[in-house]
Amino acid sequence: MKQLIRGLFVILLFASSTWAQTSIPLSEPEDACGPANVNFNVKFDYQGQHLPTYDPGKALVYFVQNQNVNVINQITARVAVDGAWVGANQGNSYFFLTLEPGEHHLCARWQSKFARAQVISLNSLNAEAGKTYYFRIQITGGGDRAASSFDLLKINTDEARLLIERSPYSISEPKK
């Protein structure tokens, strides 16, 4: 009988955490982004492959930037989850993070001191524990100083692995 009660308690404990998950309501779509005054310094690690620490209770999310723009400098894109900046990519690079299960609102915003700072792309994710998700920040087209397309898109595992294999790992920190 004690084992049955313990089993029911464990089931209720896990079920209650699932019931407690609610989506974060956004009053404005851009609330998914972080504060406009936060910018990042980005460095690259070209050494080997970066492997995330596996946490079966969380989802793993990769952000891969693919820049196909004819510009002098590499474009830096900040990434936010649920209104907080979590990192940045520059040029062709990637980083990853873990997220609690549930609905999340994602934002990619071009980091610039000029009007391009208003270039953003939004997406959402209903993350499940133990699953891996891949998003590409794709910047294409344009002339010498502009991009004609800036998109945050969910991509498949095969495409993501190819892009990750060809890109350095992005290490970003907020500028002080």
What does the pLDDT look like over 106-163, one tens digit per residue?
999 988 766 555 689 999 999 999 999 999 999 886 544 555 678 999 999 999 999 9
**Which amino acid makes up residue 34?**
G
Model's pTM, two decimal places? 0.79
Nearest alpha carbon to residue 106 among 117, 115, 93, 97: 97
In three-state secondary structure terms, 13 is helix
* In the chain, % of residues over pLDDT 90: 55
The pLDDT, as a whole number, for residue 144 is 47
The pLDDT, as a whole number, for residue 140 is 80
Nearest alpha carbon to residue 118 among 36, 41, 47: 36
